[in-house]
Amino acid sequence: MRNFRMVLQYEGTRYQGWQRQGSTDNTIQGKLETLLSKMTGQKIEIQGAGRTDAGVHALGQVANFHADTQMTQTEILEYMNRFLPEDIAVISLKEVSERFHSRLNATGKTYCYRVINSAIPHVFDRRYVHVVEQQLDIDAMREAAQYLTGTHDFKAFTSNKRGKKSTVRTINSIQIEKCAGTSMEVLGTQDEIRFLYRGDGFLYHMVRIMTGTLLEVGIHKRKPEEIAEILASGFRERAGELAPAKGLTLLEVRYQ
Amino acid sequence: MRNFRMVLQYEGTRYQGWQRQGSTDNTIQGKLETLLSKMTGQKIEIQGAGRTDAGVHALGQVANFHADTQMTQTEILEYMNRFLPEDIAVISLKEVSERFHSRLNATGKTYCYRVINSAIPHVFDRRYVHVVEQQLDIDAMREAAQYLTGTHDFKAFTSNKRGKKSTVRTINSIQIEKCAGTSMEVLGTQDEIRFLYRGDGFLYHMVRIMTGTLLEVGIHKRKPEEIAEILASGFRERAGELAPAKGLTLLEVRYQ
């Protein structure tokens, strides 16, 4: 059996997220598995590095699958891009060692959360950004982000209640940057703020709850110091709102 | 009567273009006029600086309208952005002298045509770019663009056949630049080429026919020198294909 590693891009808007969900399926994993099974005549199962939620996008999701096929890497890549819907694309595809597993071998991930901080709607990137009209205090959000950086028990920052597995994670950095908005920005009218999260892994909803909490600091509804208490409490109710899915994009998955 | 000048953004994908078309209307102008007429209780007519085609986008379209209203500029701006569909936005609105006319007073316009030069689909900006898989020769396209720059009779570069009016226009510059693609480009996998056209005015389909012709030079189907002959001929059939609408965006309208 050959093992193939893909880098994927997708717009999550019209999908129920990454993870396959039984028969009536509208997921990214489902679309890819259906296509690959058709291509190979075998039942193909895909391993994704991260299970992005419904509505979340990816610029560099990584996934792998095993298949018995004579097709070349280029033939598979071209076949997939020909038949995938236009909101999913395979950026690269390579044969890798049989032991490679996109999720188990991943050592880190980077997520980007995009916020437009303006009352003026942002037409071109509207599917990829969350709009916050109130003025956001970037310095306060950066101060708050310091409390989240490092190794912590992030139990208060996940919606997963089962809680058998460890909720300890390490966040290497949280960058909060003001930037010019859309790529075609000649008029300079937009105010975009990007939250860049680098970590070894993230719990269910963790990036969106961190962002929601930081935004509440940004509008002075909370103080930066509260983050320490929220972390220590372990209570989801103490943290902020879940920020909308559409602002979030999985940028990259890192490996050794 | 007060006169208001607006800067507008829109994604043209689902509209039949800027210009109003009778009663069963799905145009940008139509949407704006219907909303403003409702807001003021008067029949409002809008003057747009440029009549963008069906599917063409705008980042800085300018339009003006006269109205008898007690509303402030901010109130009108907020009202419009609250009730416009999310693919149309008013970026700014200002009261101006009664004599201002967005089209007649315009001294120049800038259009951008975006091409993704790659076989890999471009997910996030797919509604705003035209994909060309064959390798494009940028130097050849730049050489060809030199022939278009300056004051010429662009009769061969318009689909308008009535031809009573002058087809002489001045193009100040055509910039052709390779760039990194989407604003969230961390992976650096995309190859985007942008064509930036600055001129005093453009004929019907002119930017798209120029782009289509330059792309044929880019794939070595034509030589740069042919442009001079095409211009001299005045025959539309001699120029290249009409490039798809979705790659084109009206960036700005200039005034004295």
Interface confidence, given as ipTM, is: 0.82
Give tens-digit pLDDT for B218-233. Answer: 999 999 999 999 999 9
Find chain B residues with C-beta within 8 A of A252's C-beta.
Answer: 186-187
Least confident of A113-122, B67-76, B132-141, B196-205: A113-122
Average pLDDT, chain A: 92
Whether residue A189 is predicted with pLDDT greater than 70 in this model: the reply is no
> Is residue A137 annotated as a catalytic residue, yes or no?
no
Find chain B residues with C-beta within 8 A of A196's C-beta.
Answer: none
Residue to test with chain A: of B31, B59, B123, most A Cβ within 10 A: B123
Looking at residues A55-82, what average pLDDT do you find? 96
By the 8 A CB rule, do B45 and B33 touch?
yes
Whether residue A185 is predicted with pLDDT greater than 60 in this model: the reply is no
Looking at residues A187-206, what average pLDDT do you find? 86
In angstroms, the CA A190 to CA A139 distance is: 19
Is this prediction's pTM over 0.95?
A: no
8 Å CB contact of B59 and A183: no
pLDDT at A49 (0 to 100): 97
Give tens-digit pLDDT for A143-168. Answer: 999 999 999 999 999 998 776 889 99
pLDDT at B190 (0 to 100): 61
By the 8 A CB rule, do B184 and A196 touch?
no
Residue to test with chain B: of A62, A133, A184, most B Cβ within 10 A: A184
Residue of B134, B126, B132 lying closest to A89 (CA atoms): B126
Looking at residues B124-148, what average pLDDT do you find? 95
Distance from CA of A179 to the nearest CA of B (A): 10
pLDDT at B73 (0 to 100): 96
- The number of CA neighbours under 13 Å toward the Cβ of B100 is 21
Whether residue A187 is predicted with pLDDT greater than 60 in this model: the reply is no
Looking at residues A105-117, what average pLDDT do you find? 95
pLDDT at A184 (0 to 100): 45
pLDDT at A70 (0 to 100): 95
pLDDT at B115 (0 to 100): 95
Distance from CA of A107 to the nearest CA of B (A): 18
pLDDT at A88 (0 to 100): 97
pLDDT at B184 (0 to 100): 46
Looking at residues B13-24, what average pLDDT do you find? 87
pLDDT above 90 coverage of chain A, percent: 86
Whether residue B24 is predicted with pLDDT greater than 90 in this model: the reply is no
pLDDT at B196 (0 to 100): 96
Greatest alpha-carbon pair distance for chain B in Å reads: 59
Average pLDDT, chain B: 92
Query: With helix as H, strand as E and coil as C, how does B127-144 read?
Result: CCCEECCCCCCHHHHHHH
B86 close to A (CB below 8 A): yes
Q: Are strands A192-199 and A106-116 parallel, antiparallel or unpaired?
A: antiparallel
Burial-class residue A136 by CB neighbours within 10 Å (0-12, 13-18, 19+).
buried
By the 8 A CB rule, do B35 and B112 touch?
no
Q: What does each C-alpha distance from A157 to A135, A227, A233, A239, B137 come to in angstroms?
A: 24, 10, 10, 7, 51
Q: Which residue carries 């064959």 as its tokens?
A: B134
pLDDT at A164 (0 to 100): 80
In angstroms, the CA A229 to CA A156 distance is: 10
8 Å CB contact of B59 and A184: yes
8 Å CB contact of A124 and B11: yes
Give tens-digit pLDDT for B35-94. Answer: 999 999 999 999 999 999 999 999 999 999 999 999 999 999 999 999 999 999 999 999
Q: What does each C-alpha distance from A187 to B123, B124, B158, B207 come to in angstroms?
A: 24, 21, 28, 21
Q: Which residue carries 């509207």 as its tokens?
A: A126
B186 close to A (CB below 8 A): yes
pLDDT band at A18 (very low <50, low <70, confident <90, very high): very high
Find chain A residues with C-beta within 8 A of B89's C-beta.
Answer: 120-123
The residue of chain A nearest to residue B60, with distances taken between CA atoms, is: A187
Residue B95 token pair: 């009261």
Q: What value, to the nearest 5°, has the Cα angle with vertex B208 and ends B203 and B209?
A: 80
8 Å CB contact of A57 and B124: yes
| Least CB–CB distance from A59: residue in B81, B89, B184 | B184
pLDDT at A25 (0 to 100): 83
User: For residues B21 and B46, which has the higher predicted lDDT (pLDDT)?
Assistant: B46
Find chain A residues with C-beta within 8 A of B112's C-beta.
Answer: 184
Neighbours of A119 (CB within 10 A): 14
Q: Which residue carries 């997963």 as its tokens?
A: A160
Neighbours of A16 (CB within 10 A): 17
pLDDT above 70 coverage of chain A, percent: 95
pLDDT at A183 (0 to 100): 44
B78 close to A (CB below 8 A): yes
8 Å CB contact of B123 and A86: yes
Looking at residues B179-198, what average pLDDT do you find? 69
Residues A183, A187, A192, A198, CA torsion sign: positive
Q: Are strands B150-153 and B130-131 parallel, antiparallel or unpaired?
A: unpaired
Q: What does each C-alpha distance from B210 to A188, B202, B249 come to in angstroms?
A: 28, 11, 14
Question: Residues near B98 by Cβ (< 8 Å), separated by ≥ 6?
Answer: B1, B2, B3, B66
Find chain B residues with C-beta within 8 A of A57's C-beta.
Answer: 124
The residue of chain B nearest to residue A194, with distances taken between CA atoms, is: B184
Give tens-digit pLDDT for B154-171. Answer: 999 999 877 688 999 999
pLDDT band at B23 (very low <50, low <70, confident <90, very high): low
Task: Tell me which H or E stretch contains A14.
Answer: none
pLDDT at B122 (0 to 100): 82
pLDDT at A180 (0 to 100): 63
Q: Give the DSSP per-residue string, B18-44.
A: SS--SSS--SHHHHHHHHHHHHHSS--
Whether residue B183 is predicted with pLDDT greater than 50 in this model: the reply is no
Give the active site residues of B. Answer: 53
Residue A113 token pair: 């959360």
